[in-house]
Amino acid sequence: MQSLRWRIIVSLLVLMLGLAYMLPSLPGIKGTSLGQTLPGSGINLGLDLKGGIHLTLGVDMNTAFKNAMARTGDDIKELAREDEVYVLKPVAMPGDRIEMTLLKKEQRDQFEKLLEDFQSVTIESTTSAEDGKVKYELGMNPKYRKELARMTLDQAVKTIRNRIDQFGVTEPDIRKQQASNRIQVQLPGLSDPERAIRIIGKTAHLEFKIVDQSIDPTKGILPPGRELSTRVGRDGKEVPVVLKSDAPLTGEYVTDARVSYGRMNEPYVSLSFDSKGARLFERITGENTGKLMAIVLDKKVYSAPVINEKISGGQASITGSFTTEEARDLAIVLRAGSLPAPISILEQRTVGPSLGQESIDNGINSALIGMALVLIFMVVYYGFAGVVADTVLVLNILLIMGGLAAFGATLTLPGIAGIILTIGMAVDANVIIFERIREELRKGLTARAAIEEGYSRATLTILDANVTTVIAAIILYQFGTGPIRGFAVTLTLGIITSMFTAIFVSRILFDMYAKNRAEGAKMSI
């Protein structure tokens, strides 16, 4: 008796929990005061049901390799200078190679020993000149190239995910395709795909560079160490500016970026640096007081304010002719960090929500029709036991929906197929139990003894069959893509809930039924 009471309490708690998570998914509950008090926000619908965009992005690995070699060349030059070995600034060569020139050939052994510390590069060739200089052509180590490609793809996925998370898209599906250097992005329920594409595709490489005002950008050839760029003025016209090529400060030190508003209510982006970035910013502004500092994003000058004094505190701002939405998007990409390499959109597909709604309607209709037929058959064929089976079947659907909402899983069209399949498996479990009980009744056992023996014999059979299906579902989830994973999630969840309702909850109903009947009374099954 005590065991039955505890089983009833456990079942009610589980069912109430499932109901609490399932209710916000109903159209009439979401948004009401009751919906706001319930946990969770309902079931997330996948791209095929809710509509949205599907993107295939290509990562420009050649640029990633080129940038990595350029950074390595700068590191080699810096380390060589600390050891009083003097080399010229590395020069980029076609492919992922750089050329470095050693000024004194007598330092050759010392320089080559220094190069041994850089496992990412190999010496392709050396050329001695008559003036005593030695030119080194450095290439990328093949093992490091493979590792860099993996890290670049991982970093790109992480950056895109950060940007999308801040954009507010629920349940995005972002996965890499390592073999092809591609990234697949699915954004369900997105109403402004163009804005999302702009945010995802922005490289967001932020640099702070000093403007060289001594050079007229419209005349002559620029000297080494200078580069020509353009700045968009408030009137919308592009103005050429000459910048010093070296960027003493980059966006890697930015810890926060937010939209702020100026005196005329114009939006701009305020930046915060970490401690190292703040020290660098203070030193740079102190050494260049009176000069213009260009704030360059993806090689485009957004603003070039005059440095009036040394700026401490680690705060800076990017001003420009922004709309509020543009400033907000810029803050998003700066907070999320820059992409390690440019990306391009190789494929873009938009799934309309009307198609998704049609799929939902068809799926729900199929489930309702199939379920109604099953419910009627079970009652007609098994009598009272059929009512028990129907009851636990409805509870099973409730728990699946509640489970999907509780775990934040995404319901897709294959997921609906998984639910329908689960309904069939739940009916199978009940049929197995009922047939075992019937066999025991034919042997002459009482109703209570037949229930005890029938459940005992059927439970192992049900467990064996469902465990193998769960293993298959786990494999599908591990190696499948979006909709396939949705199918695997609903199938796994459905199997767990069907075992709970078919074995645990229905047993409670049968025990209560047998308890209230006279010893030897016939059982409706």
Structure tokens at 366: 């199929």
Which amino acid makes up residue 37?
Answer: T
User: Around 1, how many Cα atoms within 13 Å sit in the side-chain half-sphere?
Assistant: 2
Query: How high is the pLDDT of residue 13?
Result: 92
Q: How many CB atoms lie within 10 A of CB 142?
A: 9
* Residue ranges, the chain, pLDDT below 50: none
- 483 within 8 A of 410, measured Cβ to Cβ: no
Q: CB under 8 Å to 524, separation ≥6 — which residues?
A: 382, 383, 384, 385
Residue 259 main-chain phi, psi, to 5 deg = -85, 130
Contact 116, 80 (CB under 8 A): no
Q: Using one digit for the tens of pLDDT, what is the confidence trace for 157-191?
A: 888 888 887 766 666 778 887 567 888 888 877 76
Q: What is the DSSP letter of 292?
A: B
How far CA 285 is from CA of 209, 245, 305, 313, in Å, comes to 11, 17, 11, 12
Whole-angstrom distance, CA of residue 489 vs CA of residue 494: 8
The pLDDT of residue 295:
85
pLDDT at 14: 92
Q: Which residues of 458-472 are buried (b: 16+ CB within 10 A; e: fewer)?
A: bbeebeeebeebeee
The β-bridge partners of 229 are: 241
Q: Any idea what the Cα angle at residue 498 is, between residues 412 and 474, rounded to 5°?
A: 55
Q: Can you name the residues that pair with 207 across neighbouring β-strands?
A: 250, 296
Per-residue pLDDT, 352:
66
pLDDT given at position 356? 57
Q: Is 45 left (phi over 0), alpha (psi -120 to 50) or beta?
A: beta
Report which of 496, 501, 497, 486 is spatially closest to residue 417, judged by C-alpha positions: 486
Over residues 260-305, the pLDDT tens digits come to: 887 778 888 888 888 888 888 888 888 888 888 888 877 788 878 8
Element (H, E) at 207: strand 206-210
Strand partners of residue 41 = none
Q: Any residues with CB less than 8 A from the CB of 225 and at least 6 apart, and which?
A: 244, 245, 246
Structure token pair of residue 100: 């470095």
Tokens of 503: 């074995």
Quick one: which of 143, 139, 135 has its CA closest to 111? 135
First-to-final CA distance of the chain: 24
Can you say whether residue 249 is alpha, beta or left, with left for phi > 0 and alpha for psi between -120 and 50 degrees? beta
Rounded to whole angstroms, how far apart are CA atoms 411 and 407? 11
Q: Which residue has the tokens 């003493």?
A: 248
- Residue 501: which of 337, 370, 372, 388 has the closest Cα? 388
Q: Are 181 and 149 in contact (CB under 8 A)?
A: yes
CB 313 within 8 A of CB 278: yes
The conformation of residue 502, written as its DSSP 8-state character, comes to I
Q: Which amino acid is at 475?
A: I
**Whole-Å CA distances, 40 to 9, 89, 176, 188, 410:** 23, 57, 29, 19, 13
The predicted structure's pLDDT at residue 357 = 65
Q: How many residues does the chain have?
A: 525
For every residue of 377-433, which 3-state class applies, written as one string? HHHHHHCHHHHHHHHHHHHHHHHHHHHHHHCCCEECHHHHHHHHHHHHHHHHHHHHH
Reading phi first (left if > 0) and then psi (alpha if -120 to 50, else beta), residue 230 is in: beta
Tokens of 401: 């929906």
Q: Global pTM? A: 0.62
Q: Please give the share of the chain, as a percent, with pLDDT higher than 90.
A: 3
